[in-house]
Structure 1
Amino acid sequence: MLKEPNLMKQVEVRAGDALQRLLRNIPILQIEGIETEAVSGDWEPDLIARLLVDGRQHLLICAYKSNGQPRYARSALLELRNYVAQRAPLATPVFIAPYISPAVRQLCEDKGVGYLDLEGNARIAFGGVFIERMVTDKPAAEQRELKSLFRPKSAQVLRAMLREPGRAWRVTELSEISGVSLGHVSNVRTGLIDREWARVSDDGLVLSKPDALLDAWRDSYTAPPGERLRLYTPLHGSAFEDSARGALCAEDGPGHAVFASFSAAHWLAPYGRTGTHYFFADEEGLRTLQAALKLTPASKGENVVVIVPKDLGLLADTIEPAPGAICTSAVQTYLDLSIAGERGAEAAEHLRLQRLSWPQ
C-alpha cells in the first residue's frame, strides 16, 4: 500500500491516490502496493505500482511532473523509457501530471508510454488490460495560462512572430517591434517553449509549430472587448469602396480605422460577399468613417459595423493588399472570422489556406 504521507511528497500522495482510484475499478487487477523509490544520485521513478493481473505480477513505473507541458513531458518520457529498458523491461512506463494536453497524450502514445493526469484523463495498456478515459474540459489553471498567453500585450508579440514565422528573434527585438516590455516578452517566450510551439536556436527564438499556436489561439479566442456600433451608410458599390479607402489611408487624420473581419477577408482572400461592412477604429478614426461614409445609427437594418476596441494594438497590426485597403493582419482577420458563425468559419479556413500556410 501507499507509504505514510510523511514519507512522501504531497504531490506523490496525490499521484498515487489517483493511480489507485483508476486501477481499483479494474476487476482482473489486484493492487499489491504503490510505493516510492528511495532518492539516489541516479534517476528513479516517483512511483512503482506492483500489480497482480490474473495471478501474474506486473509493474507500472511512474514519473510525476508538476508541469505536464511538452517541454517537461518529453524529458520524463525519455527517462521512463530508459529506466524500463535497463531495469524493468517487462514493466509499463506511465507519465503522471496535473494536466496532460491532447498533444502530450499523443506524444505518450507515440512513445509507448501510458499516462494519467489528476483531471481524470488516462490511457494505460498492458497484457489484457486497456484503460482509457477522457475529460472534455480543460482545468481552470490551464485555461488561465492560455488566456494569459493570448491577452492583448502577449498577442502583440505573437502577431509579430507570426508575420515572420521563420525568423529567429532576440527578446530585445521582440520587445522593440511589439512595444511590449522585456519581462512580458520573456513570459511569452517561456510559454511558447514549454508548449514546444517555439524553440531556441543560436540566433534566437524561432516558431517551430506556428499551426499549433494558431489552432490554440483560435480555440480560446473571443471577440475583442470594446464598443460595437451598428450603423447605416447610403453608399454602395464603388462609391462606398472609394470613400472607405480614402478614409482609411487619410494620412493627415489623427485617428486610425481598418477593414476587419469579412471586409478584410474580401481583400486578403475573397471567399463570399456579405451585405455588412466591418471596421476596427479608434475614436478619431470612427469620426473619419462617419463623415466619409455618411454613417447614421441603425437599430436595425445596419450595413456597417464599427468596433472601437480597447486594445488599440489591433489597429497597429495591419496589411495593405491594395492602395488604401488597410486591413487587419491575416492572423487577426482569421481569428475574427473564426467566431463569426458558420460562414465566418468557412471564410476563415479559406483565408488560412491562402495566407497562413507554413511548411511543417
Structure 2
Amino acid sequence: MKVPFPTQEFDPSLLRAEEALREMLAHVPALRIESINDVSALDDWKPNLVVRITVKDQTHLLICVLKPSGQPRYARGALLELRRHVARHPPGATPVFIAPYISPAVRQLCSEEHASYLDLQGNTRIAFDGVFIERIVADKPQAEQRELKSLFRPKSAQVLRAMLREPGRAWRVSELADMSGVSLGHVSNVRNGLLDREWARTSDDGLVLCAPAALLDAWRDSYTAPAGEQLRFYTPLHGSALEDAARDALRAPDASGHAAFASFSAAQWLAPYGRTGTHYFYADETGLRTLQTALKLAPAAAGENVSILVPKDPALLADTIEPALGAVCTSPVQTWLDLSIAGERGVEAADHLRQEKLPWSR
C-alpha cells in the first residue's frame, strides 16, 4: 500500500515513477511489494520513494531519488544523495536513480556507483539479493533528441566552434559571445547544455571543455549536411592547373566574396588521405561567381567534377583556416564533420584527420 502525505504537492512524475517501479518489479513472481511510500517531505533528507519488498521472507528496501533530468550532472548529484541516504539504513537497502531518460553513459555511471536505475522510457537495471531485472529500450525520447540537436544548431554551433579552436582555454560568457557573434543568452544556454552533460566544467577563469572527444562524438552522431543550395559543375581544368586557379580565386579580396575548400578537398590540405574525382567548396553568392569564372565552370546534370554548397549559415565561411597561401579550407572540425557523413571513404578520411589535426579529441 501507499502511505499518503497530505502536505506533499501532487507530482505526476512521481506517480509515473511509482507505476514504472510496480510494473518492473511485477516481473519477479517471488517478490512481493509491501509498500511504496512517498517520503519527499520528511525531515531534511530527500529520497522521493522508499519501496519495501519481501523476497523469500527477507525484507529489502529500494531507496529512490527522482530527478527532472537524467543528464550526467544531475545523475552525479543524485547518486551522491543516494549514497548518503542508503548509509542511514541497515544492510538490505538498494539505491535507485530515476529520471525521465537515462543515457547509456549515465547507466554506466550508475553501475560504477553500484546503484540501480529506472527511467520513464523503460530502461531499467534493478539488482539486489539475487534479484536482477534489466531492460534496454533502443530509442531516445523525442524531447531528448530535440534538446541534443538544439546544441548543434547553427547559432549554438558558432559557440562550439569558437571553443574547439582553443579546446584548453577557459572562457567567460561575454568572451564567447564576442568571439562567436551570438547573444549572451544563447551562449548561456550552450554553457548549461555542456555542463549538464559534463562536457565542460567551470573554473575560476571561466568555462573549460573537459570532454571534447565526447562532444565531438555527439555532434557527429547528430550531424546532417548544412542547409543550402548544392550546385554541381564540370571544369575542364585538372591537376595543378585547377589547384592554382582555385587558390588564386580563394585568396582574392573580400570584395570577391568568400569561398573555401571543403570536405575531401579541404582534407587534402589538412591531412591528405585519398583523392577523389570531385572537388568540393563552400561559397557565398559572390564567391560562387568568382569560382565559376576562375575554374571555367559549366552546370552539369551528370559527370560533374566540382560540387559547391552555398550554405544558409554564413558562419561556416567564417570558420576557415589557410594552411598554405590561398588554400582557404573549412576548419578541421567542420571538415571532419562533413567527411563523417560522406560514406565509407569519408569515414576513413575523417578518422585520419581526427588523428592528425584533432589529437585532443581522441
Please tell me the TM-score bracket, short chain as reference.
Answer: over 0.9
Secondary structure at the aligned position of 1:94 is classed as strand
Q: Hey, what does 2:287 align to over in structure 1?
A: 285
Inter-CA distance 132–262: structure 2 relative to 1 (3 Å threshold): same
Inter-CA distance 320–340: structure 2 relative to 1 (3 Å threshold): same
1:254 is displaced (CA, Å) by: 3.3
Structure 1: give runs of 5+ residues left out of the alignment: none
Contact map agreement 1:12 1:64 (CA 8 A) in 2:
yes
Distance 1:151 1:137 in 2: 21
1:268 has 2:293 as partner: no
Is the deviation greater in 245-254 or in 267-276?
245-254
Secondary structure at the aligned position of 1:43 is classed as coil
Q: 1:250-289: CA deviations, max 9, x gaps?
A: 1253310001111111111111111111001000000000
1:164 has 2:166 as partner: yes
Q: Hey, what does 2:256 align to over in structure 1?
A: 254
Is the deviation greater in 30-39 or in 46-55?
30-39
Distance 2:87 2:273 in 1: 54
Q: Hey, what does 2:242 align to over in structure 1?
A: 240
Q: Hey, what does 1:128 align to over in structure 2?
A: 130
Q: What aligned pairs does 1:1-360 form with structure 2 within 5 A after superposition? A: 1-3=1-3, 8-37=10-39, 39-251=41-253, 253-358=255-360
Q: 1:81-112: CA deviations, max 9, x gaps?
A: 11112324321100000011111111111111
1:3 is displaced (CA, Å) by: 4.8
Is the deviation greater in 78-87 or in 170-179?
78-87
Distance 2:263 2:88 in 1: 56
Q: TM-score with structure 1 length normalisation?
A: 0.97
Secondary structure at the aligned position of 2:208 is classed as strand
Contact map agreement 2:5 2:38 (CA 8 A) in 1:
no
Distance 1:214 1:149 in 2: 12
Q: TM-score with structure 2 length normalisation?
A: 0.96
Contact map agreement 1:231 1:298 (CA 8 A) in 2:
yes
Q: Which amino acid aligns with 2:303?
A: G
Is the deviation greater in 339-348 or in 3-12?
3-12
Identity of aligned residues (%): 70
1:66 is displaced (CA, Å) by: 0.6
Inter-CA distance 252–224: structure 2 relative to 1 (3 Å threshold): closer
Q: Which amino acid aligns with 1:220?
A: S
Inter-CA distance 320–10: structure 2 relative to 1 (3 Å threshold): same
Q: What number of residue pairs does the alignment pair up?
A: 360
Contact map agreement 1:2 1:16 (CA 8 A) in 2:
no
Inter-CA distance 313–88: structure 2 relative to 1 (3 Å threshold): farther
Secondary structure at the aligned position of 2:310 is classed as strand
Contact map agreement 1:255 1:282 (CA 8 A) in 2:
yes
Q: 1:319-349: CA deviations, max 9, x gaps?
A: 1111111111111111111111111111111
Contact map agreement 1:334 1:351 (CA 8 A) in 2:
yes
Inter-CA distance 44–71: structure 2 relative to 1 (3 Å threshold): same
Inter-CA distance 24–319: structure 2 relative to 1 (3 Å threshold): same
Q: Which amino acid aligns with 2:177?
A: S
Secondary structure at the aligned position of 1:288 is classed as helix
Q: Which amino acid aligns with 2:84?
A: N
Q: Which amino acid aligns with 1:357?
A: P
Distance 1:303 1:142 in 2: 40
Contact map agreement 1:226 1:308 (CA 8 A) in 2:
yes
Contact map agreement 2:65 2:98 (CA 8 A) in 1:
yes
Contact map agreement 2:59 2:92 (CA 8 A) in 1:
no
Structure 1 vs Structure 2 CA RMSD: 1.5
Is the deviation greater in 125-134 or in 274-283?
125-134
Secondary structure at the aligned position of 1:13 is classed as helix
